[in-house]
Structure 1
Amino acid sequence: MASAVDGAILEALGLNANDTTMSSHGGSGFASTFKLSTTVDGQPKHYFVKTGSGADAETMFKGEHASLNAIADAVPNFCPRAHAHGAMHSSNRYFLATDFLDLGVQQSSTTSSSKSGSGVSLAAKLAKLHTTPAPVPDGHRQPMFGFPVATCCGETAQDNTYKSSWVDFYANNRLRGILKASVNKNGTDAELAAAVETVVYDPSAVYGHAEYDHGIMNMFGGFGTAFWAEYHELVPKAEPRDEWTDRVALYELYHHLNHFAMFGGGYRGGAMSIMKRLISKYAG
């Protein structure tokens, strides 16, 4: 059912209220999602809009806005571009507006290296993203590990304060950060904390930051042999190659800890299993 569009969204996008409607579309565990339909220069145009309440939503949408546009700048057509975000006229509510993608249209499978409508395969786009040099942040003289704003993984806010070392960034901004979030949600867990500290202090399998995305890809799957063959032809496994599987497991660990922080339950077991295996192999 179509509903009135908040004035702040109309103003940010430069739209006329008389030509614009917004209706519920899709779903998210962390926000309300909508399809905004309007007319621009006599032609129909659509946006995807997320809304949420409170400071958490403000942080999430600000980070997603910056993230989408950074990715879109590096690899055009890899993700929707964000057009606006900010406070709504409704009290303590925030929004994000992006390109609208019709996900009902048949998409090329991630289990193959087939090309999408852009003419470039998913594997090739991911490879380009992972080999595009990072910009030099304001106030620094060289590229750094981090991001100019906080971002969220699910509902978890992530500290992206710049670090010159990838080992430092992943250990402190990710693993120790998510351990703190887990303690806040689930209480003190001495065994989990001790295992995280052991992994953090033995970082022999940490290098190869382009591989960070491989962790969540491995956790949830869906990327087949053809995809990885094409990807690694473009982005060879970093040295030492025989430790690639362990590095991916170390990056997957963050997402098990994050899911445990958000949802509790069996994700702790997955995190402990990864840490025990890595500790037995590298911390002996």
Structure 2
Amino acid sequence: MTLDSKLVTLLDIDPHEVIIHKYGSSGFATTWRITTKLPSGEEAQVMFQGEHESLKVLRQCLPTLCPKSYGYGKLDDSSTRYFILTDFFDKSAQSSKEKDVYLVQKLAKLHTAPAPIPDGYTKRPFGFPCTTCCVETPQNNTCSSSWADFYANSRPRFIMKQSEKKNGPDTELSSMVETLCSNVVHGLLGDSHLNSGNAITPVLIHGNLWGGNTTWGKLPGMEVMEQIVFDSSACYAHSEFELGIMKMFGGFGREFMDEYHALVSKTEPVDEFDDRLALYELYHHLNHHAMFGGGYRSGAVSIMRMLIGKYSDS
């Protein structure tokens, strides 16, 4: 039996490196076991380095936000396996009832606290000093002094190239991404427009914050459980960029967002906030389309059609 191309795409594997065995039984389906190679050491190294550096800088800003990473690298007893070593968080401890440990409070502190300036820079750039992975995608974090330039080049344009490497050419989608980046992004996010023309200050964001990447837990030094985050893809960015994936995958209700915005005001122009949020959510639709194909394309197209129709001059 050969593995169907749909499963090859979904798993992002080499179909020639797969072993399939009939496994188990079911009264209504046929079940199989698929054995394949793990991601290469180079991919694991990049992913673990990005996670390590993300956790390190997040803890510099807010020590109770996430577990500490002690290190990453290649295992001595294996030439192909890599590791990352972090704090264990105890999920059986007593929960705290203090309001200041709720995630909304921590997120607001993260987005308003002065983030450390990366080594080699005189001020915080937009971007990040190393590659980070959003889910499994290595991201282009090349630093820039312009938020609009960084977002256009390192997020939609970059992920579109990754998508075409994996899924093949897509003239319509590629054209829409280019129109969006050329005619919409700078209009919505340009330095002379956003924040009433005052420069946006890069703040540290988690970068992959959805309901599945946060939990209640007790880290070393904590007396009770607090809400903590993990699986970070940190970036120096516009604070509202954080909210795009939070909206896409949920886990944060209206009460959470109302309390957050009571602490972190929406950027001017406020009446464009929903469109900026859609623009930021778009990246994650494109990223998931690059990884999994399928229905994520239609979500991306829907967002781009709306924004291009509303803001494009062409």
Flag whether TM exceeds 0.5 (same fold): yes
Structure 1 residue aligned with 2:82, among 94, 104, 129? 94
Pairing of 1:37-56 with structure 2 (within 5 A): 53-56=40-43
Give 1:205's aligned residue.
188
Deviations 1:96-115, CA, capped at 9 Å, x for gaps: 0111123466878xxxxx75
Is the CA contact 1:205–1:250 (under 8 Å) kept in the aligned structure 2? no
- How far is 1:136 from its partner? 2.9
User: 1:160 pairs with 141, 147, 160, which one?
Assistant: 141
Change over 3 Å in CA distance of 1:236–1:188 after alignment to 2:
same
Which of 30, 46, 51 is 1:64 aligned to? 51
Q: Is the CA contact 2:240–2:277 (under 8 Å) kept in the aligned structure 1?
A: yes
Amino acid at match of 2:79: S
For residues 300 and 59 of structure 2, the distance between their equivalents in structure 1, rounded to whole angstroms, comes to 32
Gapped runs of 5+ residues in structure 2? 1-10, 13-37, 195-199, 201-237
CA distance in 2, matches of 1:93, 1:200: 39
* Most deviating of 244-253 and 94-103: 94-103
Name the SS of the counterpart of 1:84 in structure 2. strand
TM-score, length basis structure 1: 0.75
How is 1:174-193 mapped onto 2 (pairs within 5 angstroms)?
Answer: 174-193=155-174
> RMSD in angstroms over aligned alpha carbons?
2.1
1:242 and 2:271 matched: yes
Secondary structure of the residue aligned to 2:154 is helix
CA distance in 2, matches of 1:104, 1:200: 47
What is the CA–CA distance in structure 2 between the aligned matches of 1:52 and 1:283, rounded to whole Å?
A: 40
- Secondary structure at the aligned position of 2:82 is classed as strand
1:224 pairs, out of 238, 248, 253, with 253
Partner of 1:40: none
Paired residues of 1:178 and 1:261 also in contact (CA < 8 A):
yes
Pairwise CA distance, 1:139:
3.0
Question: Could you tell me the percent identity over the aligned residues?
Answer: 55
The answer to whether the 8 Å contact 2:40/2:80 transfers is yes
How big is the shift at 1:120?
2.0
Paired letter, 2:42: A
Q: 1:68 and 1:80 mapped to 2: Cα distance?
A: 7
Which shows bigger deviation, 97-106 or 142-151? 97-106
CA distance in 1, matches of 2:254, 2:246: 13
**Structure with bigger RCO (C-alpha 8 Å, 6+ apart):** 2
Secondary structure at 1:142's aligned position in 2? coil
One-letter identity of the residue aligned with 2:133? C
Does the Cα contact within 8 Å between 1:146 and 1:161 map onto a contact in 2?
yes
In 2, are the aligned partners of 1:174 and 1:254 still within 8 Å (CA)? Answer: yes
How far apart are 1:141 and its partner, in Å? 2.3
Q: CA deviation at 1:84?
A: 1.4
Counterpart residue number, 2:66: 79
Deviations, residues 43-76 of structure 1 (Å, cap 9, x unaligned): xxxxxxxx96410000000010000111111012
Return the alpha-carbon distance in structure 2 between the equivalents of residues 107 and 273 of structure 1: 41
SS of match in other structure, 1:150: coil
- CA contact 2:61–2:114 (8 Å) conserved in 1: no
Distance in 2, matches of 1:115 and 1:183, equals 48
Cα deviation digits, residues 153-173 of structure 1 (max 9, x gap) = 111001111111111111111
- Equivalent residue number for residue 35 of structure 2: none
Count of residues in correspondence between the two structures: 229
Please, which runs of 5 or more residues in structure 1 have no aligned partner?
1-28, 31-50, 109-113
Give per-residue Cα distances to partners, 1:84-103, cap 9 Å, x unaligned.
11111211211001111234
Q: Does 1:172 align with 2:201?
A: no
Q: Hey, what does 1:133 align to over in structure 2?
A: 114
Higher mean C-alpha deviation, range 167-176 or range 98-107 = 98-107
Specify the SS of the correspondent of 2:245. helix
Residues 185 and 62 (structure 1 numbering): CA distance in 2 closer, same or farther, change over 3 Å?
same
SS state at 1:141 partner? coil
1:175-223 Cα offsets, whole Å, 9 max, x none, are 1111111001101111101111111112222356110010000001121
Which secondary structure does the structure 2 equivalent of 1:138 belong to? Answer: coil
